[in-house]
């Protein structure tokens, strides 16, 4: 039996050891190794499927492959109408994605790799009711090779996040000067006709996300998402930047009267949109640099998208113009709406600086003589 005295000694020794351990761990170097250790533990956990609900928990990205184990999802069948909500955090979300840009694959192969995506590029989780409905709006003209790469990476990326999502490619018809912001207004209008989306992601065709923890859902404020792009050394280039990938709820979008319609050519429209956010009494939210990472597919300035020399003058006037020009004044003509397997394509005539041309005459009605001839 220990005496009371020796028990006391043991107690002090025990407390002493604890103090030493705490002191060591709180030193900077130890802090780092502790976080590293926790990180390893988490990583291990992520790749171990738990027994419960095998179909979904087993599907976690391995070695940065955004498609890793994803095919198992396609085996999960919906259990009828009454699905329960998906978990708040998807168990399928992986971490860093290994984005290697090449294009020696076909659109059909992307289609085969995404068997649960249906007509028009729509998807919903097969085994639970999605908590979020996100539309991806992509401005486009003559960038088919970029579009293919984006779809290859973004479809599985979003499936891992268990979203109900849809892809809209807004294609500017003709070869008049490009107008990205106006195309986005058209994209908003057309997407909202289809579904009560609760978030819209306005997405450059050439930006490929590199971290699956960058969830494609909206924040309380308009979100600038592409904060860390390889082209800018994975740093925010300047504080008010609002180009690349942004996420707004329909309410955010309407509150700021959408995007400007009068920026023709490259540049300025993104800063105008950033200004609109604050003019409408909101602020910009952002993911962390760790998670909001993107690779930009290398490209030159496109034909028909020369730098807009008027942009600095326009930008000085945003405060006066934002309520008169935007979603409330967008004039355009949808030429076609095509439901491709991996996206909905909307080809639109956004007109020119001079406005929208008069509509083409309707096809000539058949004359009585034609009809008689046809029936005779």
Residues that bind Mn ion (CB under 5 A): 206
Interface with ligand UD2, residue 144, by CB under 6 A: no
Interface with ligand UD2, residue 244, by CB under 6 A: yes
Q: Which is nearer to Mn ion, 58 or 296 (CB)?
A: 296
Q: Which two tokens stand for residue 10?
A: 């043991």
Min CB(369)–Mn ion separation in Å: 56
167 CB-near residues (< 8 Å, 6+ apart) = 120, 121, 122, 135, 136, 138, 151, 154, 342, 343, 344
Q: How many CA atoms lie within 13 A of 45 on its CB side?
A: 8
- Contact window for ligand UD2 (CB under 6 A) among 58-66, 157-165, 184-192, 198-206: 198-206
320 CB-near residues (< 8 Å, 6+ apart) = none
For residues 104-133, which are near ligand UD2 according to CB under 6 A? none
The single residue listed with the structure tokens 């860093």 is 96
How far does Cα 82 stand from its chain's mean position? Answer: 28
Interface with ligand UD2, residue 270, by CB under 6 A: yes
Q: Which residue is nearest to Mn ion (CB)?
A: 206
CB neighbour class for 3 (10 Å; exposed up to 12, middle 13-18, buried from 19): exposed
Interface with ligand UD2, residue 179, by CB under 6 A: no
State the binding partner of 205 from ligand UD2, Mn ion, none, CB within 5 to 8 A by kind.
ligand UD2
Q: Which of 65, 109, 302, 370 binds ligand UD2 (CB under 6 A)?
A: 302
Min CB(245)–ligand UD2 separation in Å: 8
Interface with ligand UD2, residue 210, by CB under 6 A: no
The Cα 136–Cα 208 span in angstroms is 13
State the binding partner of 350 from ligand UD2, Mn ion, none, CB within 5 to 8 A by kind.
none
The Cα 374–Cα 357 span in angstroms is 35
Q: Which of 53, 71, 127, 142 binds ligand UD2 (CB under 6 A)?
A: 142
The single residue listed with the structure tokens 């309707």 is 362
Number of neighbouring beta carbons within 10 Å of residue 339: 12
For binding to ligand UD2 (CB under 6 A), which residues are involved? 138-143, 178, 180, 204-206, 226, 229, 243-244, 266-267, 269-270, 301-302, 304-305
């Amino acid at each position: 039996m220990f005496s009371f005295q020796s028990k006391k000694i043991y107690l002090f020794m025990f407390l002493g050891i604890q103090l030493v351990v705490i002191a060591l761990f709180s030193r900077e170097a130890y802090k780092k190794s502790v976080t590293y250790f926790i990180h390893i533990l988490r990583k291990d956990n992520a790749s171990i499927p738990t027994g419960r609900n095998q179909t979904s928990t087993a599907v976690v990205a391995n070695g940065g492959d955004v498609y890793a184990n994803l095919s198992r999802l396609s085996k999960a069948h919906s259990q009828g109408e009454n699905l329960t909500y998906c978990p708040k955090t998807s168990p399928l979300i992986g971490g860093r994605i290994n984005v290697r840009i090449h294009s020696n694959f076909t659109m059909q192969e992307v289609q085969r790799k995404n068997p649960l995506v249906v007509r028009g590029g729509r998807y919903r989780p097969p085994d639970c009711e999605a908590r979020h409905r996100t539309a991806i709006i992509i401005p486009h003209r003559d960038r088919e090779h970029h579009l293919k790469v984006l779809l290859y990476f973004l479809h599985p990326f979003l499936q891992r996040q268990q979203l109900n999502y849809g892809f809209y490619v807004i294609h500017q018809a003709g070869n008049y000067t490009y107008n990205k912001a106006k195309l986005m207004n058209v994209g908003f209008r057309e997407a909202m006709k289809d579904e009560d989306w609760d978030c819209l992601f306005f997405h450059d065709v050439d930006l490929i996300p590199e971290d699956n923890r960058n969830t494609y859902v909206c924040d309380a404020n308009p979100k600038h998402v592409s904060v860390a792009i390889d082209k800018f050394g994975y740093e925010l280039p300047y504080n008010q930047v609002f180009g690349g990938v942004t996420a707004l709820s329909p309410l955010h979008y309407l509150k700021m009267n959408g995007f400007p319609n009068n920026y023709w050519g490259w540049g300025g429209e993104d800063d105008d949109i950033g200004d609109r956010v604050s003019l409408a009494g909101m602020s910009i939210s952002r993911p962390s640099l760790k998670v909001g990472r993107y690779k930009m597919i290398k490209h030159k300035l496109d034909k028909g998208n020369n730098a807009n020399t008027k942009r600095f003058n326009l930008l000085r006037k945003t405060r006066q113009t934002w309520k008169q020009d935007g979603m409330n004044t967008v004039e355009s003509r949808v030429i076609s709406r095509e439901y491709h397997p991996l996206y909905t394509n909307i080809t639109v005539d956004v007109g020119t600086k001079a406005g929208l041309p008069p509509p083409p005459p309707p096809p000539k009605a058949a004359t009585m003589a034609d009809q008689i001839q046809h029936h005779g």
